[in-house]
A = this chain, B = another copy of it.
């Protein structure tokens, strides 16, 4: 089978994980890299053996013979790169968060429909190995019908030390980790019907919110509470783990520290550990996140090869974007917001 040829647009931090992630997979090859600063593209190209380098994205798209592009640039540029690719009938893989606003996300999806191209979102969180195993065990049904869940991502990771530009964002944790956590909730529990959000700014020197609580009604009448924070100093630092707790009518399922899933029913408690895989190019401290990129991209690749429908298509991820931006509306109004997904532009 012919290898799918793609170019990456953007050679920043995450390209150092997404490119080797693609290289773990059969049937795909990166043939070109763009960055507005040519020297940065050259560094990445050299490290990963990418033959061509560009500092003009249109030139790249016009000259290269591509099956798709992988957009890894800042969120503020996603829409314009999507348009650029759509104009050339190229399929697209795009970083999360998809867009700066719900309107922009809807427009991007509409653009992909109009151009009849595939728009896929590189939303990797739901592909974390312990989360996949959690879903599998949840679906086995031993704890019965879930009635309430908590998805908990609260830590004191010094995110602003590593990425000081995050301090300047008007909208922070909900677009950043919120996109992941709300998407993971959709993966686990189904579509959201309503949401209510409260936010807080705890770090005194930032513009946006670094704490958010989103309580949703999801799926078949489950109450799901998402707790997020980059301002919580806990006894054992949680970063970068997501903890999940589900109460069912016959038991309790939890994903806790150290990738451990505990399933409690009338039979007792069954404890199993599901540590993530380590790849040689990954930072061992981030195996959980880095290995999920491989599994996410494998799913996207199968879609691009025509083998299946990817989980995190643009259409699907628009539902997550809707939850993110409606959360801001809810917090501002201090009110519950309906989240029906009917107005997706076709």
Using CB atoms and an 8 Å cutoff, list the residues of chain A in contact with chain B.
147-148, 154, 194, 196, 198, 200, 202, 211, 213, 215, 217, 221, 223, 225, 227, 229, 231-235, 247, 249-252, 262, 264-266, 269, 334-336
Cβ A217 vs Cβ B233 within 8 A = no
Known: A231-B247, A234-B264. 6 other contacts (CB 8 A): A147-B231, A148-B229, A194-B334, A211-B247, A232-B247, A336-B336
Cβ B213 vs Cβ A198 within 8 A = no
Chain B residue nearest in CB terms to A200 = B147
Cβ A196 vs Cβ B336 within 8 A = yes
Most buried by B among A148, A251, A335: A148
Q: Which residues of B contact A148 (CB under 8 A)?
A: 200, 211, 213, 227, 229
Q: Which residues of B contact A198 (CB under 8 A)?
A: 215, 217, 223
CA distance A132 to B241 in the complex (A): 33
Q: How far is the CB of A81 from chain B (nearest CB, A)?
A: 37
Q: How far is the CB of A190 from chain B (nearest CB, A)?
A: 16
Cβ B266 vs Cβ A233 within 8 A = yes
Among candidates B217, B225, B250, residue contacting A334 with C-beta atoms closer than 8 Å: B217
Q: Which residues of B contact A251 (CB under 8 A)?
A: 233
Determine chain A's interface SS by DSSP, over half rule. strand
Chain B residue nearest in CB terms to A193 = B334
Number of this chain's copies in the assembly equals 2
Q: How far is the CB of A291 from chain B (nearest CB, A)?
A: 28
* With contact pairs A148-B229, A194-B334 given, residues A223 and B200 touching in the complex (Cβ less than 8 Å): yes
Chain B residue nearest in CB terms to A232 = B247
Q: How far is the CB of A153 from chain B (nearest CB, A)?
A: 13
Q: Which residues of B contact A194 (CB under 8 A)?
A: 334
Q: Which residues of B contact A233 (CB under 8 A)?
A: 250-252, 264-266
Q: Which residues of B contact A235 (CB under 8 A)?
A: 252, 262, 264, 269
Q: How far is the CB of A193 from chain B (nearest CB, A)?
A: 9
Chain B residue nearest in CB terms to A222 = B200
Cβ A335 vs Cβ B334 within 8 A = no
Q: Which residues of B contact A217 (CB under 8 A)?
A: 198, 334
Chain B residue nearest in CB terms to A330 = B336
Q: Which residues of B contact A252 (CB under 8 A)?
A: 232-235
Q: How far is the CB of A147 from chain B (nearest CB, A)?
A: 5
CA distance A211 to B74 in the complex (A): 43
Cβ B264 vs Cβ A202 within 8 A = no
* With contact pairs A213-B215, A336-B196 given, residues A247 and B223 touching in the complex (Cβ less than 8 Å): no
Q: How far is the CB of A144 from chain B (nearest CB, A)?
A: 9
Cβ A202 vs Cβ B249 within 8 A = yes
Q: How far is the CB of A218 from chain B (nearest CB, A)?
A: 11
Q: Which residues of B contact A227 (CB under 8 A)?
A: 148
CA distance A198 to B148 in the complex (A): 10
Q: How far is the CB of A56 from chain B (nearest CB, A)?
A: 46
Q: How far is the CB of A65 from chain B (nearest CB, A)?
A: 52
Most buried by B among A147, A194, A227, A229: A147
